[in-house]
Chains A and B, each alone.
Chain A
């Protein structure tokens, strides 16, 4: 074998690193853990940083510089904010003003970098559209810039960190190494969860490996692989073929939306399980990003259970600042005067929610479908806020308890429908395609075509075995978690041979029913694109 061929093989191989490929969890992770353990307390942070930069470099190459420069910027600004804070020679008001200026400028700069990498073409092309309508000659050459991996996540983390230093909720980090590690820590790099600087002290502690944490980490990784490879990736060809196909009727649209909703949940929550498990190997406890979202009672509750860290970011850094701002209070007061208190009390949340959901939509990427997705939830949650009280009164009149079975079933079905419609538009190639799908449900609802073609959409009859079986397992586990059964503790209490048997069965289910190797395409992580 010649050296050139061998080098090409290795390069191509490393270029495919992702959380769900074996070289990540069976090679990179254990290798890093071994070196980490051997390095000693003082040097362990260096090992994690080297592994993170290596991981970043393998995915984004030279764009690693963007991450390092952002880390350096955040480190400098954080310390600057703190030095202004500590500078008692400046009057309090002037100090606050200066701090605010630094924060605003730095947040704008961080967002500017994000916009340049992610949204520039989107903006340019939309300006072309507008200028065309206005008859002004303007052209935009699509740049197609490569985007640094995880930029949407680490930019939000940077903003949160600087805001927390500004609000004096957290101290500025003196060590550049720690900031760089926080901004690039490889387990959370691709898909989050969006982590607060103060939330991961273990990351910098350099404590040695703990067998319980390593075991927990790998068990969580296995659960993530199960969701991703056995369910999400087995479903992926069907979702792609239904969304890319020429034919559409109401049944097909509903099936496509349901399939994508399942795929997305299994893909994202599975990846997050792998992320949390990977971090735990190094003793780092990352925040949970999901909490049985389909048990939510309404859309706003859903978003407190789905992509929790993104919702929490928007709550803390957009919703509260806008809600508490003087301008919003002024506007709310004016509306109250004109329209009365019953309308006025919705003004502040409506304004804040609007910016939260606009940001949520835009955060997912430069597409109108995502903007619509954000606005869709804005409207729904606003309606929910308005009708919740009358709805509870109606229940009272009907002598139905909120926790009674019919009410809960009604809420679950309503939520599933709301989520599916949202996902239908979210996944569609364009807004018009998404609306066409939605229209089909009301104008051309039939199920015969879908039923006849279940095996012609990229899944053979055997492909449904892991999907349906896997979903049943996930539903049982989620139900038990929702009612508070400590599953892992119960498992740990079993005799060793039974436990061994259980884990072997789990591992072989993933090995046999996972969608990888011959006959499958490698499915990228959905949320890695955002």
Chain B
């Protein structure tokens, strides 16, 4: 009798593990950081359905350097920074899928720094048995799901107002090699797992008729020519455009004494203005994006632009 009770206890426990796992697993695939993924999904869901034309996906370089509201002011295009600090490609793939439930973007711009960083949904790839348990019962992997649930938070509200953009007004000059993009004929390989996630993203975009463009934002800390060569080769194979702004810093007028927040890792607000202005014009012309200014459907963009008061 008592042994039967124990067996039932475990059967119900396993069932509860499956049920809760189903409830907390994100739509689209495995992610590394459920908190950040859930928060970003909540952010984009706040946007009116089918109003975002461009999604910028990537890590912190994206939300520091690319300003959707500035692009709105300049070209009238609607875009969103779908990014977070140290974001992994697995999270990015899931985020893109979730964003496309309510939005029908014409273009997805992938920032390429994440091509070379860890793409695994797991904290420790060597912890095979732990990862297996997390695969079977995702509740163990996503147990911090509650941290990504929507709350009233001034930081989140500010970021939503700026469409995912999170500028920094600090300045710490870059004093390293000014010729950091010198070509030594080296190539940094894109890791196998990252390639697989990139193929998944490409397939998803193709299926949903979304154009893809690659971009490398100016960052001597994160880029060199060996990475450029690798990305350029990958983009060429797939016939997609790759714009490396690290090769255009003179044209953009980037001053490493005044335009970086942290010694060449990210741009600050001043630097972001230069990059956003260039990208806005480039994608509007290159991908035939529409100017929505004056369209009452997009009145909220005008309001946000005014409320932010940045430009």
**Interface of A with B (CB < 8 Å)?**
6, 8-10, 12-13, 22-23, 211, 460-462, 465, 496, 500, 503-504, 507-508, 511-514, 516-519
CB within 8 Å for A8 and B126 given contacts A500-B12, A504-B16: yes
- Count A/B pairs, Cβ under 8 Å: 64
CB within 8 Å for A508 and B32 given contacts A13-B128, A517-B123: no
Residues on A with beta carbons closer than 8 Å to the beta carbon of B126? 8-9, 12-13
- B107 → chain A closest CB, angstroms: 31
Q: Please encode chain B, from 1 to 40, with 1 for each CB lying within 8 Å of some chain A CB and 0 for all others.
A: 0110110010011001000100000000000111100000
Contact B130 A13, beta carbon cutoff 8 Å? yes
Residues on B with beta carbons closer than 8 Å to the beta carbon of A511? 20, 139-140, 143
Query: Cα distance A10–B139 when bound, in Å?
Result: 23
Contact A23 B147, beta carbon cutoff 8 Å? no
Find the A residue at minimum CB distance from B148. A462
* CB-contact partner of B128 in A9, A22, A465, A500, under 8 A: A9
* CB-contact partner of B129 in A13, A508, A513, A519, under 8 A: A13
Query: Cα distance A511–B145 when bound, in Å?
Result: 12
- A503 → chain B closest CB, angstroms: 8
Query: Cα distance A517–B122 when bound, in Å?
Result: 9
Query: Cα distance A22–B139 when bound, in Å?
Result: 14
Give chain B interface residues in 135-155, CB to chain A under 8 Å: 139-141, 143-144, 146-147, 151, 153
Query: Cα distance A201–B283 when bound, in Å?
Result: 79
Give chain B interface residues in 213-227, CB to chain A under 8 Å: none
- A517 → chain B closest CB, angstroms: 6
B101 within 8 A of A: no
B133 within 8 A of A: yes
- Secondary structure type dominating chain B contacts: helix
Q: Please encode chain B, from 265 to 303, with 1 for each CB lying within 8 Å of some chain A CB and 0 for all others.
A: 000000000000000000000000000000000000000
B310 within 8 A of A: no
Contact B129 A518, beta carbon cutoff 8 Å? no
Find the B residue at minimum CB distance from A27. B129
* CB-contact partner of B13 in A496, A504, A516, under 8 A: A504
CB within 8 Å for A507 and B13 given contacts A517-B140, A518-B33: yes
* CB-contact partner of B141 in A460, A496, A512, A517, under 8 A: A517
Residues on B with beta carbons closer than 8 Å to the beta carbon of A513? 143
Find the A residue at minimum CB distance from B121. A518
- A218 → chain B closest CB, angstroms: 11
Q: Which 3 A-B pairs have the closest CB atoms?
A: A462-B147, A9-B128, A9-B126
Query: Cα distance A514–B140 when bound, in Å?
Result: 10
Residues on B with beta carbons closer than 8 Å to the beta carbon of A517? 123, 134, 140-141, 143-144
Query: Cα distance A461–B6 when bound, in Å?
Result: 38
Residues on B with beta carbons closer than 8 Å to the beta carbon of A211? 2-3, 6
- A211 → chain B closest CB, angstroms: 6
Residues on A with beta carbons closer than 8 Å to the beta carbon of B5? 496
- A65 → chain B closest CB, angstroms: 28
Find the A residue at minimum CB distance from B141. A517
B46 within 8 A of A: no
- A477 → chain B closest CB, angstroms: 22
Give chain B interface residues in 76-134, CB to chain A under 8 Å: 123-124, 126-130, 133-134
* CB-contact partner of A519 in B20, B33, B151, under 8 A: B33
Residues on B with beta carbons closer than 8 Å to the beta carbon of A512? 139, 143, 146
- B170 → chain A closest CB, angstroms: 16
* CB-contact partner of B35 in A22, A508, A519, under 8 A: A519
Find the A residue at minimum CB distance from B139. A511
CB within 8 Å for A518 and B127 given contacts A22-B133, A462-B147, A500-B9: no
Residues on B with beta carbons closer than 8 Å to the beta carbon of A504? 12-13, 16
Contact B143 A514, beta carbon cutoff 8 Å? yes
Residues on A with beta carbons closer than 8 Å to the beta carbon of B3? 211
Residues on A with beta carbons closer than 8 Å to the beta carbon of B123? 517-518
- A230 → chain B closest CB, angstroms: 11
Contact B32 A518, beta carbon cutoff 8 Å? yes
Query: Cα distance A461–B146 when bound, in Å?
Result: 11
CB within 8 Å for A12 and B127 given contacts A22-B133, A518-B33, A519-B33: yes
Residues on A with beta carbons closer than 8 Å to the beta carbon of B9? 500, 503
Query: Cα distance A507–B143 when bound, in Å?
Result: 12
Contact A9 B143, beta carbon cutoff 8 Å? no
Find the A residue at minimum CB distance from B144. A519
Query: Cα distance A500–B144 when bound, in Å?
Result: 24
